[in-house]
Amino acid sequence: MNGTLPKTMKALVAYDKGDYRFEAQYPVPECGDDEIVIKTEGCGICAGDLKCYHGNSTWGDETHAKWVRPPFIPGHEFLGHVAARGKNVTAYEIGDRVIADQIIPCGECRFCRTGRYWMCEPHAIFGFQKENNGGMAEYVRFPKNAVVHRVPEEMTLEQALMIEPYSCSKHAVDRADISIEDVVVISGAGTLGLGMITYARQMNPARLIALDMMDERLQKAKEFGADIVINPGKEDALQIIRDMTEGYGCDIYIEATGHPSSVVQGLQMVRRLGRFVEFGVFAQQTTVDWTLIGDNKELDVLGSHLSPYCYPYVIENIANGKLKTEGIVKTFFRLEEWEKAFDYATGKYGDFKIAFRFD
């Protein structure tokens, strides 16, 4: 093995929902012959991390099988430098700056064999399973099948931490299949919604509209390329959209909040034969009027999961400035401060993205 690793590291370890613990002497992962281990540079906190901590469906409920496998180290929005590599690894050198897709495809299931690796049946994911620990630790192991990408050294950490979320944003917008004639509504102007806005701006739709309940987020949405911003808590968003579309409604609605009210709003707002893309991660079940989807409107309803084949484009276009990232990451915490970091990551103090920085 090239590279020498310490025996222990600092890590945040999830033992159960609501039972996360900072550990100063957690074992450093071993590096297999076909693997690399990175020294973590930074790790963002995703809404999915918060919902997992509070006990969402990944822990199992009446309709979902338990998917998480504790004890695990959370975090999937991370990157770092190669600290060790196995004897069979030739593509990467010690010190290379790298990031990996959130999913670790098996390479053998029907989805992997047909190039749809992001829906891999075993579904090994960084940051939710003890076999695939995430980035809220000083070191992370990349298994043999990890989908690894190089990150330019000149890219700031604040920019690089947007690679994973913006790749998910890109996939959601790609699912929407936007044309220059479309009136597009993106509901939610948090980090992922902003990633959708700055990418959708490149599609040059007829109108690009952002919805959010927080005015400061809407201001950022305007900076990132939205033509129109609406706060549904202060304005009648449905009527505004209908008025600007001769009563028809928007052509495309992308749901990026994970809140039931946004789903209901979107199904009312999108026109007949329109397209609804669901991206948000939900903390609770959502009930909708399926007659709107079927008999009333004949909608195309599409899901969006992870970020297949998106990293190279996102890395290139964050680096060249075409995808805007300014002001998204402003506050960093040490791992020991994880409880405060999780509190800030709710957004209640005005931050878009909270992250851990590792020295």
Taking residues 161-168, report their average pLDDT: 98
Per DSSP, the three-state class of 314 is helix
Residue 67 has pLDDT above 90, yes or no: no
- Give me the mean pLDDT over the 224-242 stretch: 98
Query: Mean pLDDT highest for which of 9-18, 50-59, 274-283?
Result: 9-18
Are 139 and 38 a contacting pair, CB within 8 Å? yes
**Which tokens is 56 given?**
């969402």
What type of residue sits at position 163?
A: I
Task: Please name every residue paired with 104 in a beta bridge, in sequence order, or none if there are none.
Answer: 124
**Are 359 and 198 spatial neighbours (Cβ–Cβ below 8 Å)?**
no
Q: What is the mean pLDDT of residues 220-230?
A: 98
Mean per-residue pLDDT for 219-228? 98
pLDDT tens digits for 108-118?
A: 999 999 999 99
Domains of the chain as residue ranges with CATH: 8-162+325-357 (3.90.180.10), 169-303 (3.40.50.720)
Cα dist from 275 to 136, 192, 193, 335, whole Å? 37, 19, 17, 41
Question: What is the reported pLDDT for 273?
Answer: 98
Residue 166, pLDDT above cutoff 90: yes
- Does pTM top 0.85 for this prediction? yes
Cβ atoms of 187 and 218 closer than 8 Å: no
The answer, yes or no, to whether residue 289 has pLDDT greater than 70, is yes
What's the whole-number average pLDDT of the chain?
96
- Please determine, for residue 2, whether its predicted confidence score (pLDDT) is greater than 80: no
Q: Check pLDDT > 70 for residue 254.
A: yes
Q: Would the pLDDT of 134 be above 80?
A: yes
For residues 202 and 228, give the distance between their C-alpha atoms in angstroms, rounded to a whole number.
Answer: 16
- The single-letter code of the amino acid at 188 is G
Hey, what are 64's tokens? 């979902």
Confidence of residue 324 (pLDDT cuts 50, 70, 90): very high
- Reported confidence tier of residue 1, pLDDT bands at 50, 70, 90: low
pLDDT at 65 over 80: no
pLDDT (0 to 100) of residue 182: 98
Other beta carbons within 10 Å of 239: 11
Average pLDDT over residues 188-212: 98
- CB 215 within 8 Å of CB 231: yes
CA distance 145 to 60: 27
Both tokens of 32, joined, read: 């297999």
